[in-house]
Chain A
Amino acid sequence: MIRKATHIADTKKLLGLLPTIVVEVPDRIFIATDNARCNKADIFVKEGERVLLGQTIGMRHAPFFDQPIHATVSGRFVGFEKHYHRSGKMVDFMVLENDHKDEWDPSLTPRSDGEIDKLTRADFVKILQEKASVGLGGSSFPTHVKFDNDKPIHTILINAVECEPYITADHRLMLDRPERVIEGIKLLQKAFSCKEVKICVKSKYGDLRRVYGEYLRRFPDSGISVCPIGNFYPQGWELAMIKSATGIEVPQGKLPSEFGIANFNVSTVEGIYQAIKLNRPVVERYCSVTGDGIAYPSNFLVRVGTPVSYLLEKCGGYIHPEKNKVFILGGPMMGASLPSDDCIVTKTVTSCIVLDEEKTKEEPCIRCGSCVLSCPAHLQPCQIMNAVKAVDKERIKTLNPLKCIECGICTYVCTSKIKVTDYVRRAKVFAKM
């Protein structure tokens, strides 16, 4: 088929309507010591010491910033264990034994409206860094960096597109906690002294549009509006979203703030609300466990640090035992496939997807051009693949694979079932050399 991929078979119509199940916090909670962006950590507590909910128990170090580690239960710190992290690496996790009291750290008192009114953009940077606020859509990009400039912002975009199939975490958050989302948005308006806010949702989600249309009636002249945009993949890519919502074309490599735009994932906005207003770190998140290898796909509200196997149990476990499974944290297009289900829900795990393995046979490329038509970054994946096969560094560099956002659409559309994205990833390595 010679055709641009406009949308990917959507399987979340029903899942989005399923109610959120608040999962009981398990007896043992696991907190990662390093993650995709931070590779070193200091631990502030000793083995056997009691920790409180929300307490800072360590500090992760990344090349350009530090990120505190927060306890997500109250209980005892008992040591380290190795489990799989969302990034696909085996990582040391701190083990906290839950005492089921959920006792908050007494120093974390909510801020009054008067205090919040006095906060400046610099204060936001400080608080968000303290509360380790990161992009909860999956990128784990430190949120405070987006505040840490003095560029004038004229539009704030709230990314609630969730363009990957299967995931419904943001969808449930939007439906369950509209008041927190709106409060979070108001904080953003204050921080950037900007009136116009657009909540970007897929135009096919009538329920979200109706709910927010109704809810926003309570806030006349707030400047907040719901902006239905395209249903295609990857509409959730920030540059694609900015273009659809505002018409501004931000070139790759430039920051949206240079064009007067700030964009945040909707879960991040809720996290910002918790950090600024409640003075708390993010300790729980929405996570959908789904896929055709799961008995009962469900939406969960889970404590950060819950083992995924615990959630799988709640879903009725695996079905089709005769088929091999692909176990994915994150979306099925960009998420990481793990070699084992021994992994932990961290702050940025939006979903856990179990798919039955489908064996495909790779055929020779017939240059149909579907990958070139579909590429959102206007690259030529097929030509990059040929250049990688020929190990022609000059050609690879000219074809500019570093622009690739690894959305995976080239592999998705390939008529010959070639894993084109893998070749482009290899091209990126060549291009960096």
Chain B
Amino acid sequence: MTIVKESAPHLRRNDSLARMFLDVIIALAPVVIFAIVGYGWAAVRNLLIPSAIMIASEYISILIRTPLPNDGNKHGLKEKIKLASSKWTINNLLAPLISGLIMGLIMPAESDPIAFIYIALVVGSLFGIIIGKLVFGGTGHNIFNPAAVGMVFAKLCFGSHYVYTAPFYVSSIPVGGTALSTIVGTSSSGVGVTHFASLGSDYSLLDLFLGNCPGVIGETCKIAILAGLIYLLIRRAIDWRVVLAYLGTFFVLLCVAALSISLSIEGTSFGMIIGYEMLSGGLLFGAVYMLTDPVTMPITSPGRIFYGFVAASITLLIRLFGAYPEGVVFSILLANAIAPFIDYYKWSTQKFTRKKVILLCCLYATMILVITLGVLYSGKAVA
């Protein structure tokens, strides 16, 4: 027994990084189970390929970054592998596993021809983990969500070959359907916001809620995602401020949009628009599993509210007026890019100052104005 000196404080909270990562994986479990039940082999393949690639890339990056002892002796690759393996911790396994699972869950089940989905998975996950994370220095240093980077890259490269299918347990499989985000965003491309008139013809709100609709494999079943959300909130593995700010802002701005749409365009109903937009696409999945990645979000509480606001505004703008269906993923990446700016030391504070409240109100007012005018113009253009 010896007495060792250490700096104060001498107590630590019973908590660890591994616990946080494990919580996210447990929270992903219901979504993964529903995906495997619903899509069978396609889901297994979607989950395995990115996970394996991302974990392998992480290991190789550690191997590259591990220097051999510079003592004049010759050291072989074997020794290097040994040295790298000793640096390999459970966190180096869990972090890329999470990215890999999320990446697999936001990819579609099929493609036409089928080979493209394999290429998309491989290329996307390689790009996501290397460009999205490892080049910045690995865990804790990345600016963008690696899964989102990979997914967007794959979509841009191979998107036209994607086929969005509904899970097997759906009685009438609409083969060759499109992702709901697509239905909402661009199914009537070129005619602006008028497609809201045809809502409810294909899927009821209950279908959307239960996952009885086509889409990427992880986003369809809302019950599984909500279960994951509750687990994450109970375990405090995510910050509720971001989820609340994101979904809350989206809902408020959506109400404005829905009101102006239902007033200006015939055949649309306020309730239907809100229900469909809230339940369709990757909104919930993104809000629960991707936007809440602590590494890529601002660190202060007011910053996190602004972050949620920015992401929600961009999501809604892309969904209402944009050409791409993946509003959520794009908005997450753009909000990630803004996070360091929100955290800039000259204005980041933990307190809600009056200035910040005023700024947030102004931003809300601007967004409401933009959405109202946008909807009115877009509706007029059609008429």
Q: Which residues of A contact B (CB under 8 A)?
A: 1-3, 5, 8-9, 165, 318, 320-328, 332-341, 353, 355, 357-358, 360-361, 363-369, 372-373, 375, 378-380, 382-383, 387, 395, 398-399, 406-409, 411-417, 419, 421-422, 425
Extra contacts besides A327-B3, A387-B345 (6): CB < 8 Å = A8-B11, A341-B3, A363-B139, A366-B294, A368-B20, A421-B8
State how many angstroms separate the Cβ of A251 from the closest Cβ of chain B: 12
Residues of B within 8 A of A332 (CB): 8-11
Q: Give which listed residue, B1, B91, B239, contacts A363 with CB less than 8 A.
A: B91
State how many angstroms separate the Cβ of B14 from the closest Cβ of chain A: 8
Complex CA distance for A339 and B17, rounded to whole angstroms: 30
A-B contact count, CB below 8 Å?
Answer: 159
Residues of A within 8 A of B4 (CB): 324-326, 337, 339, 357
A408 engages B5 (CB within 8 Å): no
Complex CA distance for A368 and B232, rounded to whole angstroms: 14
Interface-side segment among B118-126, B167-175, B187-195, B346-354? B346-354
Complex CA distance for A358 and B14, rounded to whole angstroms: 12
A323-B1, A324-B4 are contacts. A367–B299 as well, Cβ < 8 Å? Answer: yes
B61 within 8 Å of A (CB atoms): no
State how many angstroms separate the Cβ of A401 from the closest Cβ of chain B: 12
Q: Which of B3, B12, B15, B17 has the most CB of A within 10 A?
A: B3
Which of under 10, 10 to 19, 20 to 34, or 35 or more describes the interface residues of B? 35 or more
B235 within 8 Å of A (CB atoms): yes
Complex CA distance for A372 and B345, rounded to whole angstroms: 13
Residues of B within 8 A of A364 (CB): 138-141
Complex CA distance for A373 and B239, rounded to whole angstroms: 11
Residues of A within 8 A of B5 (CB): 326, 337-339
Residues of A within 8 A of B294 (CB): 2, 366-369
State how many angstroms separate the Cβ of B378 from the closest Cβ of chain A: 39
Residues of A within 8 A of B19 (CB): 1
Q: Give which listed residue, B12, B141, B345, contacts A383 with CB less than 8 A.
A: B345
Residues of B within 8 A of A380 (CB): 299-300, 348-350
Q: Give which listed residue, B9, B14, B89, B348, contacts A333 with CB less than 8 A.
A: B9
B236 within 8 Å of A (CB atoms): yes
B236 engages A2 (CB within 8 Å): yes
A322 engages B1 (CB within 8 Å): yes
Q: Give which listed residue, B8, B295, B345, contacts A335 with CB less than 8 A.
A: B8
Residues of B within 8 A of A328 (CB): 8, 10
Residues of A within 8 A of B140 (CB): 363-367, 416
A9 engages B11 (CB within 8 Å): yes
The residue on B at minimum CB distance from A320 is: B1
B237 within 8 Å of A (CB atoms): yes
B9 engages A324 (CB within 8 Å): no
B13 within 8 Å of A (CB atoms): yes
B2 within 8 Å of A (CB atoms): yes
B160 within 8 Å of A (CB atoms): no
Residues of B within 8 A of A375 (CB): 350
B7 within 8 Å of A (CB atoms): yes
Residues of A within 8 A of B225 (CB): none
Interface residues of B in 97-144 (CB under 8 A from A): 138-141
Complex CA distance for A339 and B2, rounded to whole angstroms: 9
State how many angstroms separate the Cβ of A318 from the closest Cβ of chain B: 6
The residue on A at minimum CB distance from B2 is: A324
Complex CA distance for A381 and B244, rounded to whole angstroms: 25
Residues of A within 8 A of B89 (CB): 361, 363
